[in-house]
């Protein structure tokens, strides 16, 4: 019998070659996950697309945005087969810009709906735990700002002794528990990262 966290634990960690730092725009400093990694993991966990997992597009729409820009949105339901039975719908909404300003001019993106669909799969997959370690990192997401992790001047170094990932680079840093039992957040120990 499958445990509640079996799938979550199998898909939570994203390999380094499927991650890329985002270096511009409003998501600067976050991590992009290769969408083909999700497809591979869906196939690995549930079977071939259409047999072990599938999507259903339930809505496509465009929405006017600021300054003449236009956003494209796709709503999907993701279904996975576990133990020979199809799941209920796992909803996902994705978006991309169909018309956006570049170098002072409005330009169209003929791949906007494809990009929005891919984004929708990503959102639905989060409910199953896909890439959880990336999204969990110090509680950061594209909807929140990372905490200031600059070391405090003249602060005594904190002893660390249990495994935790650096909130800046994702590399495992020793621990977030001091010798006195005090627990520290990943951002508090980020200064110890050598990556």
pLDDT single digits (tens) 97-154: 999 999 999 999 999 999 999 999 999 999 999 988 888 874 554 555 444 444 444 4
Q: Which class for 16: exposed (0-12), middle (13-18), buried (19 or more C-beta within 10 A)?
A: exposed
Other CB atoms within 10 Å distance of the CB of residue 177: 18
> What is the rounded distance in angstroms from the CA atom of residue 104 to the CA atom of residue 66?
13
0.75 surpassed by pTM: no
| 17-to-23, 115, 125 alpha-carbon distances in Å | 17, 21, 19
């Amino acid at each position: 019998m499958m445990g509640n966290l079996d799938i979550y634990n199998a898909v939570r960690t994203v390999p380094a070659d499927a991650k890329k730092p985002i270096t511009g725009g409003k998501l600067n400093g976050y991590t992009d996950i290769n969408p083909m990694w999700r497809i591979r993991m869906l196939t690995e966990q549930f079977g071939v697309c259409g047999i072990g997992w599938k999507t259903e597009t339930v809505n496509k729409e465009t929405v006017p945005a600021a300054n003449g820009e236009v956003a494209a949105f796709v709503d999907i339901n993701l279904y996975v087969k576990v133990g020979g039975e199809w799941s209920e719908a796992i909803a996902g909404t994705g978006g991309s810009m169909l018309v956006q300003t570049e170098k002072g001019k409005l330009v169209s993106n003929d791949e906007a709906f494809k990009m929005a669909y891919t984004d929708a799969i990503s959102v639905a997959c989060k409910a199953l735990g896909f890439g959880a370690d990336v999204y969990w990192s110090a509680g950061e997401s594209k909807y929140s700002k990372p905490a200031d992790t600059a070391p405090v001047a003249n602060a005594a170094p904190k002893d660390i002794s249990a495994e935790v990932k650096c909130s800046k680079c994702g590399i495992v840093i020793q621990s977030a528990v001091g010798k006195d039992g005090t627990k520290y957040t990943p951002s508090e120990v980020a200064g110890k990262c050598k990556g």
